[in-house]
Chain A
Amino acid sequence: MRLDPRTKLYMVFVVSLIVMMSATTPFLWAIRLSITLIPIILMILEKKYSSALKFLLAYASALVLTFYFLSEQSEGLIASLLIGYCGIVVQFMPAIITAWYVVRTTKIGEFMSCMQKMHVPDGIAVSLAVVMRFFPTIKEEYSSINDAMRMRGVMLGGGNVLRMFEFRMIPLLFSCVNIGEELSAAAITRGLGGENKRSSLIELKLGLADYLLMAFLTASTVIFVVYKYLL
């Protein structure tokens, strides 16, 4: 199933909104959970089983821990670390899952054409597309740097925090800058930044699934806000 990028962006927006307003009653939790499940189900539909399972397990375990083992009164080191972990997972995981889903399943071409349709200024659209494309690259480069250091026998920079940071940051910046140069060369060859309006190979059309999902997301947001603030 292919969703329109506009629907995906709307989903990111809605999930971020709901993540921001925290759930206080079981009913609100139910809405939050269903909102979190949507990207996971979509991942399964896109055949990304392992990531779907990973996210599901992480989120479920954090939920169980939070509600059955930790309470407002929990104190002590292990408890506070756990609270920290569960807090971040429970609070922000939905947004992370959604963002991950969107980044992984949206082609840059689709994204650009969608931005053009929504009349987003070129500058913001191009920069955002680069950001989207760049997160996986940073991760990749970072792990190659780690590999290279391990090969040379450099572990953690000899315990010196500053050097630890420097040894990773500088090569990362070097490769990012180089990749950036190549990226701009490639983009300019393809006519990015020209005077004319660009056309796109990908025709964007909202399908039935898009309308249904958008309606569902809107409805959940409205219900969430009404129940949280007005009742």
Chain B
Amino acid sequence: MENKSKKLKAKDFITVGIFAAILFAVEFAFGMLGYIHPYIVASYVIILPLASGIPMMLFYTKVEKFGMITILSILLAIIMFIGGMGYLGAPLIIGAGVIADLIAKSGQYKSFKKIVISFGIFNLWICANYFPILVTAESYRQDLIDGGFSAEYANNLFAAINVKTIGILVVLCFVFGCIGAVIGKAVVKKHFEKAGIV
């Protein structure tokens, strides 16, 4: 662990891969709920940061070099694309990842304050998935209805997520990201530091 070289090693890549898989598993489990009601889709900004806080805080304890958070966001973008979320959000996801990485770097990946802010920013990748809904609103609505969703579902979805509410969603996402980070840190401390894993 005392290796201070700035270059990422195979071990780091493997760590990133593992946490990307865990993060996606969490996202997927909660993502399924969104099909019950569109309001749940909007509330991802609250649910996901809280749920992913624990694995992400564990991830942050393993990050020591620049690039790991960036690669994580690239992987998320690829997985989201494969999962049919489209390419429109991908640049935003990666952008959020790079900024989060830079913020955490400015605290040498040790400063907890910086980590909290960094995780808040990182969570904006959730909002990036709303991006297609905003940009292609009209055709997206038609697509949903043609694709088998009811008009009721589509209307509710657009009532919850539109150009007016996106600002609130982004802020909520960031705030709950910070809360998720604090909770996650507490849980990591409770379970992992006692066990000597980190």
Please report A residues at the B interface, Cβ cutoff 8 Å. 12, 16, 19-24, 62, 66, 70-75, 79-81, 83-88, 90-92, 95-96, 99, 122-124, 126-131, 134-135, 138, 165-166, 169-170, 172-174, 176-177, 179-180, 183-184, 187-188, 192-193
The reply to whether A99 and B14 form a contact with Cβ atoms under 8 Å apart is no
Query: Closest Cβ of chain A: how far from B197's Cβ, in Å?
Result: 6
The reply to whether B16 and A127 form a contact with Cβ atoms under 8 Å apart is yes
Q: Provide the bound-state CA to CA distance between A71 and B85, in Å.
A: 24
Q: Provide the bound-state CA to CA distance between A192 and B143, in Å.
A: 45
Q: Provide the bound-state CA to CA distance between A70 and B35, in Å.
A: 15
| B79 neighbours in A (Cβ, 8 Å) | 131
In the complex, identify which listed stretch (B121-129, B149-157, B160-168, B171-179) lies at the interface while the others stay far away: B149-157
Q: Which residues of B (8-45) have their CB < 8 Å from a CB of A?
A: 8-11, 13-18, 20-22, 24-25, 32, 35-37
Query: Closest Cβ of chain A: how far from B106's Cβ, in Å?
Result: 22
Q: Provide the bound-state CA to CA distance between A92 and B82, in Å.
A: 10
The reply to whether B13 and A130 form a contact with Cβ atoms under 8 Å apart is yes
Interface size on B, residues (CB 8 A): 53
Find the A residue at minimum CB distance from B151.
A72
Given A84-B35, A123-B67, A130-B18, A90-B147 contact (CB < 8 Å): yes
Given A22-B143, A165-B51, A174-B197, A91-B71 contact (CB < 8 Å): no
| B149 neighbours in A (Cβ, 8 Å) | 83, 87
The reply to whether B81 and A16 form a contact with Cβ atoms under 8 Å apart is yes
Say whether chain A's binding surface is mostly helix, strand, loop, or mixed. Answer: helix
Say whether chain B's binding surface is mostly helix, strand, loop, or mixed. Answer: helix
The reply to whether B9 and A70 form a contact with Cβ atoms under 8 Å apart is no
Q: Provide the bound-state CA to CA distance between A81 and B152, in Å.
A: 12
Given A16-B84, A126-B10, A73-B71 contact (CB < 8 Å): no
The reply to whether A92 and B18 form a contact with Cβ atoms under 8 Å apart is no
* Binary per-residue interface labels of chain B (117-146) against chain A in the complex, 1 for a CB within 8 Å, 0 otherwise: 000000000000000000000000011111
The reply to whether A75 and B82 form a contact with Cβ atoms under 8 Å apart is no
Find the A residue at minimum CB distance from B188.
A173
Q: Does B91 contact A (CB under 8 A)?
A: no
The reply to whether A188 and B84 form a contact with Cβ atoms under 8 Å apart is no
From the candidates A12, A81, A90, A130, name the one contacting B148 in the complex (CB within 8 A): A90
| A79 neighbours in B (Cβ, 8 Å) | 150
From the candidates B11, B20, B148, B195, name the one contacting A131 in the complex (CB within 8 A): B20
From the candidates B9, B13, B36, name the one contacting A127 in the complex (CB within 8 A): B13
In this complex, the member of A91, A173, A176, A188 whose beta carbon has the largest number of chain B beta carbons within 10 angstroms is A173
| A96 neighbours in B (Cβ, 8 Å) | 83
| A193 neighbours in B (Cβ, 8 Å) | 9-11, 13
The reply to whether A128 and B21 form a contact with Cβ atoms under 8 Å apart is no
Query: Closest Cβ of chain B: how far from A133's Cβ, in Å?
Result: 8
The reply to whether A131 and B150 form a contact with Cβ atoms under 8 Å apart is no
Query: Closest Cβ of chain A: how far from B89's Cβ, in Å?
Result: 11
The reply to whether B148 and A66 form a contact with Cβ atoms under 8 Å apart is yes
Query: Closest Cβ of chain A: how far from B124's Cβ, in Å?
Result: 21
The reply to whether A20 and B86 form a contact with Cβ atoms under 8 Å apart is yes
Q: Which residues of B (38-92) have their CB < 8 Å from a CB of A?
A: 51, 54-55, 58, 67, 71, 74-75, 78-79, 81-87
Q: Does B102 contact A (CB under 8 A)?
A: no
- 3 closest A-B pairs by CB: A130-B17, A193-B10, A84-B35
| B10 neighbours in A (Cβ, 8 Å) | 126, 184, 187-188, 192-193
The reply to whether A22 and B83 form a contact with Cβ atoms under 8 Å apart is no
Q: Given A23-B147, A87-B147, 20 more contacts at CB 8 Å?
A: A22-B144, A22-B147, A24-B142, A75-B150, A87-B148, A87-B149, A123-B71, A128-B75, A130-B17, A131-B17, A134-B18, A134-B21, A165-B51, A169-B54, A170-B54, A173-B58, A177-B58, A183-B14, A184-B10, A188-B11
Given A138-B21, A187-B14, A92-B151 contact (CB < 8 Å): no
24 contacts between A and B (CB under 8 A): A12-B82, A16-B81, A16-B83, A70-B150, A84-B37, A86-B148, A87-B153, A91-B148, A124-B74, A124-B75, A126-B14, A127-B16, A128-B17, A130-B14, A130-B18, A134-B21, A170-B54, A176-B21, A176-B22, A180-B18, A183-B18, A184-B14, A187-B10, A192-B10
